[in-house]
Structure 1
């Protein structure tokens, strides 16, 4: 497992940084993801994808026990005898080269789903992967709730320590909404505000922030620090603060209350001394 004090370093890859798509906390079903990908691929690339997914499904099937017996706890860990690495994992690494950078993220999610990758495999692929591969692992977690229980939480925590906004946005998806404790989730919201990740990326934001007085206190402190430093307070902060100060039993659609407006206005920039000649 990763050392929680040290994020693992991503290796260089062949498909560049992860694509910055508009964030969507609700993941599409795998069949819709596949349809979206195949619509963007030519016939040669679509054929490669079909073969890659077949390899991933075959790996999962090989790891399954005979009928009537339990299935392996980590089906995705099956390896080929010649290389020691499952064929689908090689496809996972080369998805950008075969399908293009813009489709690679979705392709990797599909491979992880077809292989039924478990905690050990997901952790290894994340730890050894490029930033784009790490993002794909995080985006796949909501599709792997049975195979990837809370054991994958260290991956989310690692991504939340990163400076890569794509990783941070992927880390605060539906998996984090279910598995992060209150303390970790509040700090994830603050991380998004600090790094400029839109809060629409945070799955379950309205449900978890509603009536959270401690989150409201943290948001006010953050706004005060930004204002004192003469920096702009993110507009997203006001939105989530409105939610946090709304009692949990109140009707939906809270209006901004006087209490929620008590975030300091951005301070005016201090006058600068005349430039020396």
Structure 2
């Protein structure tokens, strides 16, 4: 595991400051199968309040991410897939947010694709975090457009300014034309992105 994910795990641990998690991590490291029990209990044990010292994370999400990071490297991808597949919406979101911290390479891309197919705005937003670097450009554009359609703020999309391109601009322009023709508003952040991409193309 790289130092950056390790540092993020340390930051989440510090932000949580909960003693029970040390025992749970040790249990997961020694007996990977125990992660299912601890993962399910995290909402009750950690609570669900936002963490002031870890913006964007709730306590249960952070605890679940720490538990996943405690797994032996060879167990992570399989356990993460199972926890996502059988988890509720909060557990699925925690898995998606934890992926950039885990040594899974591109193995977890199917989890992103599943999340993007849902109508759960929280899952779609989580799927477009830093791990979305593993999505190919075609799928990434479609996911960004779905965010616009669902009203997910584009601020949730990691590396948006870097990856947005002329083809995405064309998709946004077609979307905006349809919305305007139907007398519906276009989200302000989508309009701003389209204006920027159009200006760059003209320049």
Query: What TM-score do you get using the length of structure 2 for normalisation?
Result: 0.85
The structure with higher relative contact order (CA 8 Å, sep 6+) is: 1
Give the one of 27, 30, 38 matched to 1:91. Answer: 38
**Any idea what SS the aligned residue of 2:70 has?**
helix
Aligned to 2:156: 201
Q: CA deviation at 1:246?
A: 5.1
* Structure 2 residue runs without a partner (length 5+): 50-58
Distance 2:79 2:128 in 1: 21
Query: What's the Cα RMSD here?
Result: 2.1
Report how many residues are paired: 188
Aligned to 2:113: 157
Q: CA deviation at 1:114?
A: 1.2
Q: CA deviation at 1:35?
A: 1.2
Distance 1:185 1:47 in 2: 39
Give the one of 133, 141, 148 matched to 1:186. Answer: 141
Give the one of 188, 191, 196 matched to 1:238. Answer: 191
Give the one of 56, 72, 75 matched to 2:28. Answer: 56
Aligned to 1:140: 98
Are 1:229 and 2:182 counterparts? yes
Distance 1:33 1:180 in 2: 26
The structure number with the bigger radius of gyration is 1
Distance 2:111 2:197 in 1: 27
* Structure 1 residue runs without a partner (length 5+): 1-25, 39-45, 60-77, 79-85, 249-256, 260-277
Are 1:47 and 2:19 counterparts? yes
Are 1:34 and 2:13 counterparts? yes
Distance 2:183 2:200 in 1: 31
- Cα gap change, 1:243 to 1:53, in 2 (>3 Å): farther
Structure with more of its chain in helix, by fraction: 2
Q: CA deviation at 1:123?
A: 1.1
Distance 2:61 2:23 in 1: 17
Distance 1:242 1:31 in 2: 40
Aligned to 1:264: none
